[in-house]
Structure 1
Amino acid sequence: MKSLKYFYLLAIFLFVSGCSKEEIQNIGQQGQYLANFDFPTVKVFAPGKVGITNRSKNADKFEWEFNDAKRVTPQGDTVEYLTSDKMVPDSAFYELPGEYEVKLTTWQGNQKQEIIKKIIVEKQAPTILPPDNIGVFMEVEFATKVFQYPGKPITYNWDFGNGITSNLANPKVTFTIEGTQLVKLTINDGQETLSTELLINVQGELAKTIYFTDAFSRRIYKYKLTKQSVSQVEWIGVSTGYNAFGLSVKGSKLYLSEAGLGTRFSSGDAAKADGSLKSYNLDGSGENIISKPVASTLDYRDDPWMHTVDQYGNIWWTCRNWGVRALNASASEASYPAVKFNINATIAGEGVATYFASDIKEVGNEIWVSYAGTTGKGIYKFGYDGAFIGKFTTAIQSHAIRTFVVDQVNKHIYFATNRADGGRAVGVYRADLDGSNIIAIDANWTMGIGSGGFSDQGAAGEFIYITNLDIDVDENGDGHLYYGYRSFSDIRGSGNPPTLGTSAENSGIKAYNLDGSESSKFLFKGYAPYGLAIDQVKR
C-alpha cells in the first residue's frame, strides 16, 4: 500500500510539471515592444552597399521603405529598391553620395510603431594609386580611384614635381631624381574640386648587379649595371679568405665558395683543408656557413673551387682533384659530403686519371663540369644523380677550361682557357653550343701569362687565371659577357698567398658585347677580381 501511495504522488508531480511547461510555451512574446534598427558604424562611400541590423523587439510584422536606394540581385543586376517585408532586409545599394532615409514600420498585433533614420553616403576622396617599384629613369604609370557622377567628365591636374605635370587620368611619368617625391593631384568631378597628395619613393635606377670578390682587399663588392645613371662600386660588408674563386646568385641569396690558402701542390698550412661554402643575403647580411671540409681528415685538394646552385635548391661544387660534391643550398654547418662523381680514365678516354675539376654549371637539366688539368680537358655532362651523360667531341674538348658560361639565347659557350692548347693562346673564347666554331674574344698579348700580361698565379699548367664568367643577356640576345682581369703587375707568383703589388690599377672587370661589335674593354679598374656573378633581377 505504501508503494502505491508513492506511485500516485509521482504521477501527480509529473502531471503538474508537464502542465507548467506547456503553459510557459504558450504565453507568447514578453517584454517591451519596440521598433528600431541600426546602420553600420563605419563610413559608407558611394557607390556602396549598406547592410541594416534590425534591433526591434517583440514585433511580428515588418515593412521597410527605402528612399532612392537600389538592390543588387543574385545575378548582379541593380534594381529599384522600394519596400521589403523581411525581418532583415537585403542590403541597400546607393550609387550617389548624399543623405538618405530608411523607414521601418512594425506591428505587434494591433499595435504599430514607425521609425525613420537617416544615413549619409559619402563621396570617396580621390586616391592616388602609385605603381610598384618606381625607379629613376624608368617610365611608370599612375592611376587614381575617383568617384564619377553619371554623365559628368572628370578633369585631372597632376603635379609630380621638377616641372613634370599631366592632365591625363593615367599618366606615364619618368622621374629623373631618386629619393622621396611629393605627388599632387587635383580633380574636378563636375560637382566640386578636390585635392590629394602622396609621398612616394623613387628608387635608384633599377638594374642588374655584378657581385665580385677582390684579391687585394679580400672583400665582396657589388656594381649596378645602370644605363642612365653613373654607378659606383660598393662593399657589401663581407670579407673573404685568400682565394674566393666562386660566386653565384640564386633568388635572393648570394653564394660564395672559397678554396682557402693553398691552391696548388702545397705543404704546411697551405696544404690544410681550410675552404668553405657560404651564403648571404644580397645586402651582405645573414652569413651562413653551408659546409666546410674537416682539416684533420681532408686537405687542400678537397677545398671548394667553383660552384652552381640548381633549380631544385642544391649547391654543386668542384674540388681541385676530387670531382664534384653536392648539398642542399639551405643547409647550415652541414657535414662535408663525399664526392658525388668524378671523371676517370675510362670516361675521359685519355688513359690517365689526373683530372682537375674546375667550373660547374647547370645547363637545362644537366650538370656540366669543365676540367683544367694537364690531361683532363674540356666539358663533361652529368645527370642530377651523378650519372655520366657524355662529353663534347668537338674542338672545345682540346682545351683546359678554367671557367665557362652558357648563353642560351644566342646559343654560345664562352670559356676561359687555363693554358695554351689546341693551337690557341691563353685567353677568353666563344664556341657554338656544340663546342665547335671557336673564336677568340680576348686572347691578345695582354692576356699572356707573365710580365706585361695576365697574372701568373699558380704554376705552369695550373694557373688560376679567370675563375668566373657571367653574362647579362636579354630576350633579344643583346648584352655583355663580364669577367675579371688580374694583371701581372698587380698580383703574381705561385706562392700561397700570391704576391700583391701596391695597387690594382691595371686590373678590373672587363666587358665584351655579345654581338661582337667591339673588343673587350674595362668596365672599371682598381680591383683584382676572382669570383664574379650577376644578379639577373633588376633591383
Structure 2
Amino acid sequence: MKKFKLLLLLIGLIYLGCSKEEITNIGQQGNYAANFDFPAGVVNAPAKVVLTNRSKNADKYRWEYTGGKTLNKSGLTNVSVSEKMVPDTILYELPGEYTVKLTTWQGDKPQEISKKITLVKMQPRIIAPANIAVFEDVQFDARAFNYPGQTVTYSWDFGAAGTFNVKNPVVKFTTDGEHTIKLTVNDGQETLTTEIKVQVKGELAKTIYFTDVITKKIYAYKLTVLSPSVPVALPGVTTGPSPLGLSVAGNKLYYSEAGLGLRFSSGVAAEGDGYLKSFNLDGSGEKLITKNTGATAYNLDPWLHTVDKDGNLWWGTRNNGVHVINAASTEAPYPAFRIRGNTSTGFSSSSHFYSGIREVGDEIWVSFTGNGGRGLHKFKKTGEFISEITALKDIGIRQFVVDAKNNMIYLAINRATAYEPGIYRCDMNGGNITPIYNTPSVMGFATATSFSDQGYVPTGAFPTGESIYVTGMELDQDENGNGYLYFGYRNRADSFGTNAPQSVGSGANSGILRYKLDGTQAVSFLIKGYAPYGIAIDHVKR
C-alpha cells in the first residue's frame, strides 16, 4: 500500500513539472513572418503616423521610414530608423508617397517587407465660430497646408459682410439667415478654394403683430434696434373682413374677428359671424376658441379683447355687453355676457357701444363710444359696476391703454363735442386731457385724405358714434417708463365704406404710427403699406 501511494506521488510530481515547463515556454504561434499596418483611410499631410506591428515569431526588428521624423516624449528628432518592436510616432511634414521598410529576424534568419503610404495635401478648411448673431464681431479662422519657406495667402468673401485678406478675419453681419462664406488659399504651389454655409441669428427683439384689412393677413414686425426689419406674414393665417383685435399672452397670439356687421345692419350683415382664435407666435397651431352663430345677432360679435393674468379672455361687443371665456377653450359654446352696466341704470341700452377693454389691477376697464353712453368705466371681474372716470363721461373712446409707469391714460377719441378725433393723453383720473395727434386732415373724417370713414355717419341719430377708428393701440416701455405708443392708422384711400367688407387701397397712405412718450419726436410712421386694425406687442425679446 505504501509503495502504491509513493508511485502516485511520483506520477503527480512528474505531471506538475511537465505543466510548468509548457506554460513557461509558450511563444508566438504560426509561421515566422514580418508584417505591419498603416492607419486606415485618407491621411493628410502634415500627419502623425502610428504603425501597427503584425509580425509573428520575430526576435528583432528594424524600421526604416525615409522622409519621416521621430516624435516622442523627448520631442521631434530627425531620425528615420528604429529598432523597437513598435516605432515611435512618425511625423511626415509634406504630402507625397513614402516607403516604410521593416526587417525582422528569427535567430539569424531575416525577413523584409516594405509598404507605401500616400499622404495627401490637407485641403483648406474654414473654422467658423459656434454662435453668430447680427451686428456682433465674430472671428473666423482658416486651416491650410503650409510648405516650408512658402507664404500662404488668404482671400475671404463674406458677401455683404465684406472681403478680407488675412488668416483670421473679424466679421460683422448685418442681416440674419443663411450666409455663404468662400475662402481662396494660395499655398505657394497651387490655388485652392472652399466654402461653407453659416446661420446668422437675428437680433433679439420684441415683436409687434398687426392685422391688415387689405391682404387679410396677420404680420409680425421685429422691433429691432441694430438691424433693419421687415413685416413677415404669419404663414397660413387668414383673417375675416373685420380683424379688429389682437393681443399676446405668454406664447400665444389671440385674434378677435367682428365679421360683417360693424354698424347698424340688416340682411346677411346682421347675422352672427364673429369669432375668437388663438395661434402660436409663429402662426402655427390655429385654434377656434368660440364663434357667434346667432341669427340677427351681429351685435354679439367680438370686437376688441384682452387676456387677463388668470388666463381668461374678455371681449366687448357692439352693444351687447362684455363676455368672458377661458382662453384655452376650444370650439366652446358662445357664452352669455358677463358685464352690462353704466352709472345710471346698471344695464346697457342699445346705444351703449362697448369698445376698448383692459385688465387694470384686478379690475376690467371698458371704454364706450355710443350715442347714449360714453367714457371709461370700471368693473369687477364678477360683473359688478364699480365706477366711471367722471372727467371722461361725455367722450367717445374707441380704444385706450393705461401707462401705469407714468400714471397716464392714452385715448383714441372718435367723438366728443369738445375734442377733435385723435389720440390724447390724460391723468389717471381723466384730468389734463392733452392732444398727442389730432390733426383734422389726418385723424379726422371730413376729407378724402383723412382717417377711414368705416362706420362714420356725419348726420342722423348716431353722428360719428359708430366710426370704427383706432382699434389697435399698444405701449412699449423700458423699466423707466420711456418708450413709444403705437397705433394703427387707416387712411380713407386704403379703407373706405361705412360697413364691412369695405373697399381697400394699396396701403400707401396707411400703417402703424408711433409717438415717443417723452414728446421729443413728432408722430411718425413705423411702417407703411398696410391698413391695420388690431395691434399687439410680444414684450419678450426673441
Which TM class, normalised by the smaller chain length?
A: 0.5 to 0.7
Alpha-carbon deviations, 1:2-56, whole Å to 9, x = none?
xxxxxxxxxxxxxxxxxxxxxxxxxxxxxxxxxxxxxxxxxxxxxxxxxxxxxxx
In structure 2, distance between residues paired with 1:339 and 1:393: 25
> Which residue in the other structure is 1:407 paired with?
403
Shift of 1:247: 0.3
Shift of 1:307: 0.3
> Which residue in the other structure is 1:375 paired with?
372
Alpha-carbon deviations, 1:272-329, whole Å to 9, x = none?
0000000001111111000011234x51100000000000100000011111000000
In structure 1, distance between residues paired with 2:499 and 2:408: 35
Call closer, same or farther: CA 1:180–1:461 in 2, change over 3 Å: closer
> Which residue in the other structure is 1:311 paired with?
309
Indicate which of 231, 234, 252 corresponds to 2:232.
Answer: 234
Amino acid at match of 1:340: R
Aligned: 1:204 with 2:199: no
Conserved in 2, the CA contact under 8 Å of 1:454 and 1:486? yes
Aligned: 1:519 with 2:522: yes
Alpha-carbon deviations, 1:321-364, whole Å to 9, x = none?
11100000000000000110111462579x97621100101111
Conserved in 2, the CA contact under 8 Å of 1:414 and 1:430? yes
Conserved in 2, the CA contact under 8 Å of 1:344 and 1:353? no
> Which residue in the other structure is 1:456 paired with?
453
> Which residue in the other structure is 2:191 paired with?
none
Q: Which runs of 5+ in 2 are unaligned?
A: 1-127, 139-157, 181-196, 458-463
Indicate which of 425, 450, 453 corresponds to 1:430.
Answer: 425
> Which residue in the other structure is 1:397 paired with?
393
> Which residue in the other structure is 1:497 paired with?
501
Conserved in 1, the CA contact under 8 Å of 2:489 and 2:511? yes
Amino acid at match of 2:414: N
Indicate which of 489, 495, 506 corresponds to 1:485.
Answer: 489
Alpha-carbon deviations, 1:62-85, whole Å to 9, x = none?
xxxxxxxxxxxxxxxxxxxxxxxx
Secondary structure of 2:339's partner? coil
> Which residue in the other structure is 1:252 paired with?
251
Conserved in 2, the CA contact under 8 Å of 1:246 and 1:257? yes
Shift of 1:450: 3.4
Alpha-carbon deviations, 1:137-173, whole Å to 9, x = none?
3699xxxxxxxxxxxxxxxxxxxx989x9xxxxxxx9
Call closer, same or farther: CA 1:205–1:220 in 2, change over 3 Å: same
> Which residue in the other structure is 2:275 paired with?
276
In structure 1, distance between residues paired with 2:474 and 2:172: 30
In structure 2, distance between residues paired with 1:181 and 1:365: 49
Identity, % of aligned positions = 50
Shift of 1:495: 3.5
In structure 2, distance between residues paired with 1:138 and 1:532: 31
Secondary structure of 2:303's partner? strand
Alpha-carbon deviations, 1:170-220, whole Å to 9, x = none?
xxx9875645799xxxxxxxxxxxxxxxx9854211111111111111111
> Which residue in the other structure is 2:11 paired with?
none
> Which residue in the other structure is 1:266 paired with?
265
In structure 1, distance between residues paired with 2:350 and 2:269: 24
Amino acid at match of 2:341: I
> Which residue in the other structure is 1:385 paired with?
382
In structure 2, distance between residues paired with 1:235 and 1:180: 20
Call closer, same or farther: CA 1:178–1:327 in 2, change over 3 Å: same
In structure 2, distance between residues paired with 1:463 and 1:483: 16
Call closer, same or farther: CA 1:371–1:138 in 2, change over 3 Å: farther
Conserved in 1, the CA contact under 8 Å of 2:259 and 2:500? no
Conserved in 1, the CA contact under 8 Å of 2:258 and 2:302? yes
> Which residue in the other structure is 1:195 paired with?
none
Shift of 1:418: 1.6
> Which residue in the other structure is 1:366 paired with?
363
Aligned: 1:536 with 2:532: no
Call closer, same or farther: CA 1:378–1:432 in 2, change over 3 Å: same
Amino acid at match of 1:455: S
> Which residue in the other structure is 2:480 paired with?
476
In structure 2, distance between residues paired with 1:492 and 1:312: 38
> Which residue in the other structure is 2:21 paired with?
none
In structure 2, distance between residues paired with 1:516 and 1:273: 43
Shift of 1:230: 0.9
Amino acid at match of 1:293: N
Shift of 1:526: 0.9
Q: Which runs of 5+ in 1 are unaligned?
A: 1-127, 141-160, 166-172, 183-198
Conserved in 2, the CA contact under 8 Å of 1:262 and 1:497? no
In structure 2, distance between residues paired with 1:403 and 1:485: 13
Amino acid at match of 2:517: L
Conserved in 2, the CA contact under 8 Å of 1:441 and 1:519? no
Size of the aligned set, in residue pairs, is: 369
> So what's the TM-score if we normalise by structure 1?
0.63
> Which residue in the other structure is 2:437 paired with?
442
Amino acid at match of 1:466: V
Conserved in 2, the CA contact under 8 Å of 1:348 and 1:376? no
Shift of 1:478: 1.5
In structure 1, distance between residues paired with 2:314 and 2:486: 22
Conserved in 2, the CA contact under 8 Å of 1:248 and 1:255? yes
> Which residue in the other structure is 1:302 paired with?
300
Call closer, same or farther: CA 1:179–1:216 in 2, change over 3 Å: closer
In structure 1, distance between residues paired with 2:319 and 2:351: 8
Aligned: 1:355 with 2:355: no
Secondary structure of 2:390's partner? coil
Conserved in 2, the CA contact under 8 Å of 1:402 and 1:416? yes
> CA RMSD for the aligned pairs?
3.1
> Which residue in the other structure is 2:327 paired with?
329
> Which residue in the other structure is 1:13 paired with?
none
In structure 1, distance between residues paired with 2:386 and 2:470: 27
Secondary structure of 1:505's partner? coil
Secondary structure of 1:530's partner? strand
In structure 1, distance between residues paired with 2:249 and 2:200: 26
Conserved in 1, the CA contact under 8 Å of 2:342 and 2:385? no
Shift of 1:399: 1.0
> So what's the TM-score if we normalise by structure 2?
0.63
Secondary structure of 1:270's partner? helix
Secondary structure of 2:393's partner? helix
In structure 1, distance between residues paired with 2:177 and 2:468: 43
Indicate which of 118, 135, 142 corresponds to 1:137.
Answer: 135
Call closer, same or farther: CA 1:260–1:389 in 2, change over 3 Å: same
In structure 1, distance between residues paired with 2:346 and 2:389: 11
In structure 2, distance between residues paired with 1:218 and 1:399: 31
The 5 A counterparts of 1:96-115 are none
In structure 2, distance between residues paired with 1:433 and 1:450: 31
In structure 1, distance between residues paired with 2:175 and 2:257: 40
Amino acid at match of 2:438: A
